[in-house]
Chains A and B, each alone.
Chain A
Amino acid sequence: MNKIVSLICGIIFGIGLVISQMINPEKVLGFLNIFRDWDPSLAFVMIGALVISTPIFHLFKNKNKPMFSSSFSIPVNKEIDKKLIIGSIFFGAGWGLIGLCPGPAITSLALFNVSSAIFVVAMFAGFYIASKVK
């Protein structure tokens, strides 16, 4: 059952990225272009998502177990360390260069865009490198 849930949640997430237009890097770059011509849309995407995910998380986090799995798995790492900051700096730089982050990049593979496909291959290379050096 949790395999079907994974597929369906992926589809809902993907449609959300299309409707919010976050699949389009120009929209994201518009949000990051705060000092010139600013497009605040991305902030509204986050607000929309948080309005649902926040109350649901806090309502269910103390329940015994999720419906189709044996236990909840919630990140426990609370450390503010160099990895967190340096990783976020690298991510922010790559994000600002093209306007793609992992979700929209993978979702945009559906559009057969050569540039986004090249980006995704490089991103997976980055995942692999990180898994080796961490």
Chain B
Amino acid sequence: MNIINFTPVTALSGGLLIGLSVALFFILNGRMIGISGIASNFIVSKDNRIENFLFLIGLILGPLIYNLITNKEINISISSSLILLIIAGILVGFGTRLSNGCTSGHGISGISRFSIRSIIATMTFMLVGILTVFIKGIV
């Protein structure tokens, strides 16, 4: 194993902001953030629909506001075929709802609550993610 592209300072600062968002949402609105929950409830449930919608809009405004303030361009690269994008999207959407949480809901909010369920979920999806990347590298 070699360590490459490690960016601890930006990772930690971005993480602090994410934690701040989770903390504020809990103190003010009383809910623990889980993005798969917010996004799927927006389409399947009438409860808190406007709040959920506004949160999602906020997520999308985030990069635009960052770009406006810093004038830095944000680049991402996704190299994948159409079919793989669709399969992966369905797996992520279906899987996170079956287990009631994703990287934010289990990985951050759940672990903050010391939830055993969330710790097990986080270890499982990370291990499977690692395995998937490993297998992808062979085939």
The judgment on whether A and B are partners is: yes
Mask: chain A, 83-107; 1 = CB below 8 Å from B; 0 = not: 1111111111111111111110111
Q: How distant is A62 from chain B, measured CB to nearest CB, in Å?
A: 13
Interface contact B12-A44, CB-CB below 8 Å: yes
Q: How distant is B73 from chain A, measured CB to nearest CB, in Å?
A: 10
Q: Cα distance A30–B6 when bound, in Å?
A: 9
Q: A7-B57, A32-B132, A118-B85 are in contact. Are A41 and B7 (CB under 8 A)?
A: yes
Q: How distant is A87 from chain B, measured CB to nearest CB, in Å?
A: 3
Contact check: which of A19, A45, A93 meets B128 at CB < 8 Å? A93
| Contacts between chains A and B (CB distance < 8 A), count | 493
Which residues, 66 to 123 on A, are CB-close (under 8 Å) to B? 66-75, 77-80, 83-103, 105-111, 113, 115-116, 118-123
Q: How distant is A9 from chain B, measured CB to nearest CB, in Å?
A: 4
| Chain A positions within 8 Å of B89 at CB level | 94, 98, 100, 105, 118-123, 125-126
Interface contact A45-B11, CB-CB below 8 Å: yes
Interface-centre pick from B18, B20, B40 (highest chain A CB count, 10 A): B18
Q: Cα distance A121–B39 when bound, in Å?
A: 12
Q: A3-B51, A9-B58, A30-B5 are in contact. Are A88 and B124 (CB under 8 A)?
A: yes
Interface contact B63-A66, CB-CB below 8 Å: no
Q: Cα distance A34–B129 when bound, in Å?
A: 10
Interface contact B87-A126, CB-CB below 8 Å: no
Q: How distant is A97 from chain B, measured CB to nearest CB, in Å?
A: 4
Nearest-neighbor residue (CB-CB) of A41 within chain B: B11
Contact check: which of B18, B96, B116, B125 meets A78 at CB < 8 Å? B116
Which residues, 64 to 114 on B, are CB-close (under 8 Å) to A? 64-66, 74-78, 80, 82, 84-100, 102-104, 106-113
| Chain A positions within 8 Å of B107 at CB level | 46
Interface contact A45-B33, CB-CB below 8 Å: no
| Chain B positions within 8 Å of A69 at CB level | 28-31
A binding-site residues for B, Cβ under 8 Å: 1-27, 29-30, 32-54, 56-57, 60-61, 65-75, 77-80, 83-103, 105-111, 113, 115-116, 118-131, 134
A-B contact pairs, 5 of them (CB 8 A): A87-B98, A95-B103, A101-B102, A113-B76, A127-B97
Known: A48-B19, A75-B115, A83-B100. 8 other contacts (CB 8 A): A11-B59, A32-B126, A32-B133, A33-B134, A66-B26, A68-B30, A96-B131, A98-B88
